[in-house]
C-alpha cells in the first residue's frame, strides 16, 4: 500500500513520499503514522524524499534483528538507511521497520504513543541521528519529543 497524498497517484516533490507495508495483525493507524513520518521529514527540511515504513510481526522482526545486529529476540524498531534515488528522482532515505506487538508490550497503557515515538525515532535514524553519546542522545530525544509528542524514557 502506498501512502500517496497527491491526486492522480503522483507524489509532489514538495511532499515526502511514505510507502507503507503492514505485514502483521495488531491494529495500527497506518495513515496517521505515515502522516507523522511525513511531518517529521518536513520539520527536518526534507520534502522531495521517500522512505518506506513497514509494520511486521515478532518473527520477522526477530529475523531482521539477528541478521543485521546479531542480537536475539525481536526489537521494537530498526532503520535501514539507503540514500539512493527512485525512478521519479526522489531521494530514497531507506526503510523503517516497526514491530507493533513489541511496542504494545513496551507501553500497554498507550501503544499509540509508543508507535508514534518509534516512527519518529526510526525516521531520525535514517536522517543520521544517533543516541550513542550523551550530547547526540539529548539532541535526538528533544526532536523525538517535539515531533511525536511523546517523552522518551
Q: Which residue range(s) make up the domain with 140?
A: 2-148
Cell matching residue 54: 513497514
Is residue 16 exposed (0-12), middle (13-18) or buried (19+ Cβ within 10 Å)?
buried
How many domains would you assign to the chain?
Answer: 1
The confidence score (pLDDT) of residue 13 equals: 64
| Per-residue pLDDT at 1 | 43
Mean pLDDT for 86-94 is: 88
* pTM for this model (two decimals): 0.89
CATH assignment at residue 128: 3.40.390.30
Compute the average pLDDT of residues 114-131.
97
Residue 57 contacts residue 23 (beta carbons within 8 Å): yes
Residue 153 forms part of a structural domain: no
Amino acid at each position: 500500500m502506498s501512502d500517496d497524498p497527491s491526486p492522480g497517484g503522483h507524489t509532489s516533490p514538495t511532499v515526502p513520499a511514505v510507502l507503507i507495508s503492514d505485514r502483521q495483525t495488531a491494529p495500527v493507524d497506518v495513515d496517521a503514522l505515515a502522516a507523522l513520518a511525513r511531518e517529521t521529514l518536513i520539520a527536518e527540511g526534507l520534502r522531495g524524499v521517500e522512505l518506506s515504513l513497514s509494520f511486521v510481526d515478532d518473527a520477522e522482526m526477530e529475523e531482521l534483528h539477528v541478521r543485521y545486529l546479531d542480537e536475539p529476540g525481536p526489537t521494537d524498531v530498526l532503520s535501514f538507511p539507503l540514500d539512493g534515488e527512485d525512478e521519479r528522482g526522489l531521494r530514497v532515505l531507506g526503510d523503517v521497520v516497526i514491530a507493533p506487538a513489541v511496542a504494545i508490550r513496551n507501553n500497554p497503557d498507550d501503544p499509540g504513543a509508543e508507535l508514534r515515538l518509534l516512527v519518529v525515532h526510526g525516521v531520525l535514524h535514517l536522517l543520521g541521528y544517533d543516541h550513542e553519546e550523551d550530547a547526540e542522545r539529548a539532541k535526538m530525544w528533544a526532536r523525538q519529543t517535539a515531533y511525536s509528542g511523546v517523552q522518551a524514557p
